[in-house]
Chains A and B, each alone.
Chain A
Amino acid sequence: MEAIRLDAQWIDYLLIAIYFIFVLGIGWFAKRGISSSIEFLLSGRSLPAWVTALAFVSANLGAVEIMGMSATGAQYGMPTMHYFWIGAVPAMLFLGVVMMPFYYGSKVRSVPEFMRKRFGTGAHLVNALSFAVAQLLIAGVNLFLLGTIVNRLLGWPLWITLIVAAAIVLSYITLGGLSAAIYNEVLQFFVIVAALLPLTLIGLNRVGGWDGLVDRVSNDGMLGAEQLSSWPGEQLSGFSNPVLSVVGIVFGLGFVLSFGYWTTNFVEVQRAMASKSINAARLTPIIGAFPKMLIPFIVVVPGMIAAVLVPQMTQFKEISASIDEATALEQTGVTYNDALLLLMREVLPNGLLGVAIAGLLAAFMAGMAANISAFNTVFSYDLWQQYVVKDREDDYYLKIGRWATIGACVVAIFTALIAGNFSNLMDYLQTLFGFFNAPLFATFILGMFWKRMSATAGWVGLVGGTLSAVFVFILAETGVLDLPGQGAAFLAASTAFVVDIVLSVIVTLFTTPKPAAELRGLVYSETPKSDFEDLSEPKAPFWKRPVPVAGVALVLVIILNVTFG
């Protein structure tokens, strides 16, 4: 890959520098509130819903998401919207309406801790360890991507970028804990919008407005008008039959993959747990759903614009269509992943360019910070306090949390270096950890609503479900199953879900359930309604109550699907 040097001037560097002063400043100011481990690791459960909602969205709006989704937009066009409208919003609403009362109401401090209370230490250890290791890995991958981008854009050596970025993340998290991470995610959200919204509008202006874009995309001589409607999205799903494609997207992406990711991933759920009341916790993913459904307009659309406006990108797409992507990369020196950067270079004036670079750097670091702030909580509470050193005073665990943060940043630098040398290995490992999600969702949802489900069923279902996903994945990799695109991932996740449910039911029938007295707050039928309610809720107007707001979001996302379908 060749360098894409952006012509950054002093004004751009000035804007970037100001942004980083604010990033560190947030860590410094957030430090004042920290005197206990709960304040460091869970923000003292004190944040308002709009803050945690934006952090919820931002924690996922990392580099992989921004670059990846604009790349998919450049390649396939509007079907990419499914990753937001089908693959995120419904699951976020479900998390807020159905699952959050259990997480917040049971007063657990992490998702693995919920697992321990419901199913005991077997399932807990599997969950906590795999989560902790996965976070270190993903933090490293985020860091590596940051290093490569900075290297290609500004020409800094990789190792300097790795150390500087890790040091910045480390300093604001060790100072301000989760609050600093969350506040920075909120700040990052606005910087990203300030960068991507003008980028989209200027790009549209260059191609002659929305009509101009529609015109150019439908006459691109490749996928053409297929790229302008999100359904049935055969290119994206990899199923050539339109009916199968719709079923694959709705069930595979929309149900199993996205519910597994959004409802059990502690990186996301932690943001909601940091909020000040059960009402705010439930509103976190629900309010977050609104920006989430609009973000693709400033992420996917620029990708589509790049594909028709930037000559290098158009050329890459044409060669990919006529020969293949490897040849196209060889001849043009770019890939789909460069779509957003190429558009930035093409249309942004100095000044706005600085805002855009700051926004991207922020997104990369926020991704890593989110992983690390979730890691240090699980490490301190679920691994260290549970299995290594129990029953110490709280100060001790606050100290452990800080040391875990330092350790995680150092490990992330090394993971990033490994990622640079063995990129395929990293891809496989990430896919592997993705397999934990689908069975986790199955186990949680069954455990929350079926009081009889036993502890043994908890871990047997998890392990069996994960192994079945790996099995399907191997079949697809070795060519026994022929599913291009996302088809294999959809099928692996669906299989894991079904196997988990079936195994859990069978094992439960032959094992003893937990006594009902231990299930309060963990299982729906054993929990008094008052545990799930906020005293302020009945008085709150409808736009501050989770269920009606979720209803509005659902209607909006359906309208979007119909309008752009």
Chain B
Amino acid sequence: MSKSNELTKTAGAFDVRNFIGALLAIFGVILTIAGIVGFTPDEAERTGGVDANLWTGIGLIIAAAVFLIWAKLRPIRIVETPDDAAGAPGTD
């Protein structure tokens, strides 16, 4: 989170990786719980015997962890070039 340079800003306010990580984590937890408490014979028949909610839930939690750790380890820094930031219309 360095704000030493006027032209660089950390995108800490908004990093889509945190959003993706959070959503996948919530989905993962809900599916994992559903897989543990709600695995019925009817469901087993649909999936061919696999507890699909549980496995997908675990997969999503792992994917979520990857995004959150990645965002933590390498935060985005944006260098703004003055002419772009100005959004000058009619550059021709």
Interface residues, chain A, with chain B CB atoms under 8 Å away: 11, 14-15, 18-19, 22, 25-26, 29-30, 32-33, 36-39, 44-46, 48, 51, 107, 117, 183, 186-187, 190-191, 194, 198, 202, 205-206, 276, 346-352, 355, 381, 385, 390-391, 394, 397
Min Cβ gap B79→A in Å is: 8
Say yes or no: A351 contacts B35, CB within 8 Å: yes
- Of the residues B46, B49, B55, contact of A348 by C-beta under 8 Å: B46
Residue pairs across A and B with Cβ atoms less than 8 A apart, 24 shown, are A15-B27, A18-B23, A22-B22, A26-B19, A32-B14, A33-B13, A33-B14, A38-B85, A44-B84, A46-B80, A183-B14, A187-B19, A194-B60, A202-B48, A276-B79, A347-B46, A348-B52, A349-B43, A349-B52, A350-B34, A350-B38, A351-B53, A352-B31, A397-B89
Q: Count residues on chain B whose CB falls below 8 Å from chain A CBs.
A: 41
Task: Say yes or no: A194-B24 contact (C-beta < 8 A), given A183-B19, A385-B89.
Answer: yes
Say yes or no: B89 contacts A355, CB within 8 Å: no
Say yes or no: A352 contacts B92, CB within 8 Å: no
Min Cβ gap A325→B in Å is: 28
The residues in B between 1 and 43 inclusive whose CB is less than 8 angstroms from any CB of A are: 13-14, 16, 19-20, 22-24, 26-27, 30-31, 34-35, 38, 43
Q: Chain A contacts of B79 at CB under 8 A?
A: 276
- Of the residues A32, A191, A276, contact of B13 by C-beta under 8 Å: A32
Say yes or no: B89 contacts A37, CB within 8 Å: yes
- Of the residues B16, B20, B27, contact of A355 by C-beta under 8 Å: B27
Q: Chain B contacts of A194 at CB under 8 A?
A: 24, 27, 56, 59-60, 63
Min Cβ gap B90→A in Å is: 7
Task: Say yes or no: A22-B87 contact (C-beta < 8 A), given A51-B16, A198-B52, A205-B50.
Answer: no
Question: Dominant SS at the B interface?
Answer: helix
Min Cβ gap A477→B in Å is: 42
Min Cβ gap B31→A in Å is: 5
- Shortest Cβ distance from A397 into B: residue: B89
- Of the residues A18, A381, A397, contact of B26 by C-beta under 8 Å: A18
CA distance A276 to B59 in the complex (A): 32
Task: Say yes or no: A19-B84 contact (C-beta < 8 A), given A29-B13, A29-B14, A205-B48.
Answer: no
CA distance A276 to B50 in the complex (A): 44
Say yes or no: A25 contacts B52, CB within 8 Å: no
CA distance A17 to B92 in the complex (A): 46
Q: Chain A contacts of B50 at CB under 8 A?
A: 202, 205
Say yes or no: A190 contacts B38, CB within 8 Å: no
CA distance A108 to B76 in the complex (A): 26
Q: Chain B contacts of A347 at CB under 8 A?
A: 46-48
Q: Chain B contacts of A391 at CB under 8 A?
A: 90
Q: Chain B contacts of A117 at CB under 8 A?
A: 92
B78 interface hit (Cβ, 8 Å): yes
Q: Chain B contacts of A46 at CB under 8 A?
A: 78, 80
Q: Chain B contacts of A350 at CB under 8 A?
A: 34, 38, 43
Q: Chain B contacts of A48 at CB under 8 A?
A: 76
Min Cβ gap A401→B in Å is: 11
Q: Chain A contacts of B14 at CB under 8 A?
A: 29-30, 32-33, 183
